[in-house]
Amino acid sequence: MRIATWNVNSINARLPTVLAWMEQANPDVACFQEIKCVDEKFPREAFESLGYNIETHGQKSYNGVALLSKHPMSDVRRGLPDDEADEQARYLEALIEAPRPIRVGAIYLPNGNPIGTEKFDYKLAWFDRLNAHARRLLAHEEPLALCGDYNVIPEPEDARNPAAWTDDALFQPQSRRAFRALKNLGLADAHEIGDEPAGTYTFWDYQAGAWQRDHGIRIDFALLSPQAADRLRGVETHREARDMEKPSDHVPVVIDLDLEG
């Protein structure tokens, strides 16, 4: 099974680009972040014509996540538990009803900037809620993939120029510690266990020639339960998508799992 995660940075603004990539890469499941539209405005027909079932958790103008699957989806959860007052659309989860099912979560973790404000507090609280939910999911001992834009730079090697991010919420010790705590529950980073090379980035800002100078960072991840990690057969970061017409500032990360038998 091929699972992709991609912060598309407005699905309607970049629809031709996203469709072209989807036709070429042909994932079985795709997790989109920052769709930036309400559910009713998601371009369902365009993806249904490619054979996808679609679930969305949208929000007007901001945030929003979607799951697309060539298999049926069930047990759909919209929103992260433990804060009923949270109105930001950042989490969507479903059981992918493949011959060997896998649970997939699409994640758009808060940015948290500027630090020292309630936005950074919200980021850390969201991380805590994700940690608690992941702990519950892992207790089921089933194949699980938590994929998305985590808005954290885990290690200095995950940035071309780490010094440029010293004062950014993505590179604060608290953010990095929260990400490590999540992995320490028993989740494996597909990039690490799939032996992708150093300097594999997933985001380049639109500003200051970041793409042209390769001033990238790695903030998009596929985290796998032991039952999924054992079946990882490959991981690819599709850097070339950043050079497409009207690109997102993120590129897709694609994992291949052997769920047969």
Share of the chain above pLDDT 90, in %: 98
What residues make up the domain containing 78? 2-257
By CB atoms closer than 10 A (0-12, 13-18, 19+), residue 216 is buried
Give the β-pairing of 29-33 and 2-7. parallel
Which structure tokens are listed for 107? 């994640």
Return the pLDDT at 260: 83
**24-28 own/partner pairs: CB under 8 Å, 24+ apart:** 25/238, 25/252, 25/254, 26/2, 27/2, 27/3, 27/254, 28/1, 28/2, 28/3, 28/69, 28/70, 28/71, 28/96, 28/98
**Across 175-179, 208-212, 253-257, least confident range:** 208-212
- In this predicted structure, the answer to whether residue 165 has a pLDDT above a threshold of 80 is yes
Neighbours of 240 (CB within 10 A): 12
Encode pLDDT of 14-52 as tens digits: 999 999 999 999 999 999 999 999 999 999 999 999 999
Q: What is the CATH number of the domain that holds 223?
A: 3.60.10.10
Which structure tokens are listed for 34? 């920052």
Specify which residues 236 forms β-bridges with: 254
How many domains does the structure of the chain reveal?
1
Encode pLDDT of 59-118 as tens digits: 999 999 999 999 999 999 999 999 999 999 999 999 999 999 999 999 999 999 999 999
- In this predicted structure, the answer to whether residue 261 has a pLDDT above a threshold of 80 is no
Neighbours of 11 (CB within 10 A): 24
Describe the strand order of the beta sheet including 102-108 as a list of residue ranges: 73-78, 91-96, 102-108, 144-149, 220-224, 188-189
